Structures are given as structure tokens and as C-alpha cells.
Structure 1
Amino acid sequence: MASKANEELKEGGERPQTYSSPAIIERRRRILEETRKVIAEQGIAALSMNEIGQRAGVAKRTLYNAFQTRERMIASAIQEYFDEYVSRIAYSSEPGTMQHNLERMISVVQRNRKIRNYIKAIMALYFSSDVDHDIWAAMHSPAVHHNRQWIEVLEAKKQLQPWVEVDKLVEDLVRFEYATINDWAQGRIPDDQIIVRLVGSYLTSLLGALKGAARKDVEALIKDISDRGMDALPMPQRPKVAA
């Protein structure tokens, strides 16, 4: 830790700081924010450490000290942005329920509609055949976690069909969710249809894996969505403002 602090001293000519200091936290926030801006403006292929360093006001070696590689910096920017947003959703339902997972999906789509270029860039990367694993995992893992919460509760309640494997089901749900979001980002699904289309199709694809009360609940919601559209959905409250 002392050697890292010395590097900070040499680079900035200032007193050594710990990696939990407000200055270091603010610098990391600035780096990741500029990384996301470049992704939205230019895409990931054009993103360079030199440009991020210039825009964030830090030396390139500082970026490598903090993230080791360009790909890990991009992965951190993507994952931390997602995690920070989801942590501020004002859920009206308990974790591990269908309503909680749908509130998360709906809130994220509402956010996505405001940052379409960014979402288009990261979805194109997610489905690329040569995407770096760190970047792919940064996008894939959070959605796996949130889908798994509900599916594991259903497994514990014995409301999954006997042929269902939890890991495979969760992976398939994430792929379906992201494929639909990618179609929207590419302009194939209109803005005013994406939420109903995503939730309705997601639940329909899941229906064959369910039995008992869970299946009845999902069937009822699908019918309600068909009848009433957005009015049938468990809408999350406005995300809490970050401190």
C-alpha cells in the first residue's frame, strides 16, 4: 500500500492518499464517467486510454495502475453504472418475487430509453463474437444475479418443472432479456412498445418452466398485460437521487 501511495505522490506532487480518500474516489468516478461518455459518443472500438486520460484529467499510467487494462476499465464503467442505478430503484415489492424482478427490468428499460446510444454500443459488444470476457461478464453477471433471486425462490417452493435446471434457465432468461433490449436499441421495437413487449415475451418464455402457484400467477399477469397493457405492470417508483 505504501508503494501505491508513493506512486500517487510522484505523479501528483501531493501528499500520499489512501485508496478510500475522497480525492481517489472522485478521480475514479470521473474516469468511469468519461469512459461511459466515450462509449455513447464513439463506441467501444474507438475508445483509447489516452483520450480517457485527457478527458478525466489523469495520466495514462494512472489508468493502468487503477484498472490494469483498457478492457477492465470498460468493464468497471459498465458494471458500476448498472449496479449504482439498480441500487437506487425504489422497489415496492420484496426481493425474490416476480414483481421485484419485473420492477428491476422495467426501471432499467426506462433508464435505457434516455441513453440509447450507450445501450446500443454495449449490446453490440455483448453479442460480438470477439468480446473481451471481462467486458462480457460485467454486462452478463448483474442480470444473472437479479434473475436468479426469483428463480431460486421458485425452486425452493418446488414450483419449477422437474426438467428445469436453475443455472440454464437463468442464463436463458438473461439472453432473452438482452436480445430484446438489443432489438429495441437497433430500432426494431418502438420505444412505446418495448416495456410491454419485453415483459410479456419474457414471461411467456418462462411459462413452460413453471408449475403450481407460480405458473398461475404468471398466466394471470400475461392475460392482464394482453388486456390492459402498461396498466397491468408493477411499475417501480422513481429511483432515489444519489447522495
Structure 2
Amino acid sequence: MALIAARGVDGFSLADLSRRARVAQKTLYNSFGSKEALICAAFDFFLEEQAVRFPATEKRTMAGILDQLYERCCDFMQNREWVRASNFLYFSFTVDEEIYGTLKAMALIYFDQFHKVYGDHPDFVTNNPTEYLRLQMANAAHGTVHDWLMGRISDRVFPDAVCLGVVTAMMSFVSGDLRREAGRLVERYAARLRDQPLPSQDSEASASGE
């Protein structure tokens, strides 16, 4: 992952990894078949590490799932270059479909936890265009990450901004008591963001002497 983060996909090669890991290039090709498959394996390995650090079984409520997402976003801030590489790939016009699918699945981990916990709940709306909404949720999550990487969202508010986007999307899938619970969580994250200016606004205020 360090090579991918440092060089991006175009600058990453099995030959480089072979030299760095002291593993025969033929062995890597025999194991993975292509550069794209190896990249997917690297992302999958990172996800497995994250799953150990943030076990889903400990979070069985909507608030708990979002608390875990918040913690994970804080962890992402310590892995900025890795996140930058994965975000660049997600929005690339030439991204391999297998890599794209892996990155989309990464963005939907917490929605999938939510679906697993509440999918059989009577307030869960089952007639939604689920796959379309999943795509919108993945795009929104990666979009927020992109804004953070570009400096449009500060480190201070990044985890809250991601959680707000996810719980807002969750509201499309619930009614009744679950929708009211989601509404309270929307207000929680919105309240944290309400008085926090965007970085560009901070700069403009400084320039104007405010």
C-alpha cells in the first residue's frame, strides 16, 4: 500500500514491488495474475486490518455504527496518502472495474452493517431502489473524502461531515421510529458542523481582518 500511496496506480508496478519485497516477479504474477488484482488484494488486506481494529459485532445500533465510522475516519487521517490513492482511483476514468468494485464496497461497509442490523425491522423501507441508493451513498462518501483531501474540509470536521452524509442517506431507508432516530443523529452531526467555517471561509475572514 505504501508504494500505491506514494506513486499512484500508474507509477506502481509488480517489478517495483518485487524489488522492494525481495520476491520474484514471476511469483507475484503467478499469485495475482495482474497488477490490478494485486492492488485489490492490498485494499482487501487493509480492510481486514480495519475490521480487526473496529469489529462490527460491537456496534449493533445506528448510533453505534456511526460512532465506529467516526473512529475510523479519525484513523484515516493518520493514513492520508493511502486514502489519497484510493480516492484518486475511485474517481478515475480509467479505473479497473475490479478495483472500482473493491473501493465502492469499502465506502459501503457501514451501510452494510446498518442493513444487517435493521434489514428485518418493520420500519426498514424495502421498496427502495437499493442499488441506486447504495451507489449514491458510495459517491457521497468518496466525495466528502475528496473534499477533505483537497483542503475544502478541515481535519477538525472531517469525521462529522462523513457521518452526517451517511446518516442522511440512511434516512432514505427507514420510516417511523427509525427515521426519528436517524433524524436525531442528523441533528447531532449538523450541530457539530453548524458553526464551523470551511477552510476557504477561514482564509477569507483572515484576509478581510475579521
For normalisation by structure 1, the TM-score amounts to 0.71
Deviations 1:105-162 (A, max 9, x none): 2222112111112211110111111101121122222443541231254342132346
Partners in 1 of 2:192 and 2:83 — Cα distance? 28
Q: Which residue of the other structure, out of 204, 224, 241, is the alignment partner of 2:168?
A: 204
Q: Which residue of the other structure, out of 82, 88, 91, is the alignment partner of 1:118?
A: 82
Q: Which residue of the other structure, out of 160, 167, 174, is the alignment partner of 2:131?
A: 167
Q: Does 1:178 align with 2:148?
A: no
Task: Give the deviation of 1:52 after TM superposition.
Answer: 0.6
Conservation of the 8 A alpha-carbon contact between 1:39 and 1:47: yes
Partners in 2 of 1:149 and 1:201 — Cα distance? 16
* Ranges in structure 1 where 5+ consecutive residues have no aligned partner: 1-35, 230-243
- 1:64 — aligned with what? 29
Partners in 1 of 2:126 and 2:111 — Cα distance? 19
Q: Does 1:144 align with 2:105?
A: no
Q: Does 1:42 align with 2:3?
A: no
Conservation of the 8 A alpha-carbon contact between 1:120 and 1:186: no
Deviations 1:211-233 (A, max 9, x none): 1111111111222334456xxxx
Give the secondary structure class of the aligned counterpart of 2:157. Answer: helix
* Ranges in structure 2 where 5+ consecutive residues have no aligned partner: 194-210
Partners in 2 of 1:131 and 1:52 — Cα distance? 20
* Distance verdict in 2 for CA 1:208–1:146, change over 3 Å: closer
For normalisation by structure 2, the TM-score amounts to 0.81
Give the secondary structure class of the aligned counterpart of 1:44. Answer: coil
* Distance verdict in 2 for CA 1:93–1:206, change over 3 Å: same
Conservation of the 8 A alpha-carbon contact between 2:164 and 2:186: yes
Partners in 1 of 2:118 and 2:127 — Cα distance? 14
Partners in 1 of 2:108 and 2:160 — Cα distance? 21
Partners in 2 of 1:120 and 1:133 — Cα distance? 19
Deviations 1:195-224 (A, max 9, x none): 111112322343244211111111112223
Give the 5 Å matches for 1:1-243. Answer: 36-89=1-54, 93-95=58-60, 97-161=61-125, 163-227=127-191
| RMSD across aligned positions (CA) | 2.3
The structure 1 segments of at least 4 consecutive aligned residues displaced by more than 6 Å after TM superposition are none
Partners in 2 of 1:139 and 1:66 — Cα distance? 21
Identity of aligned residues (%): 24
Larger Rg: 1
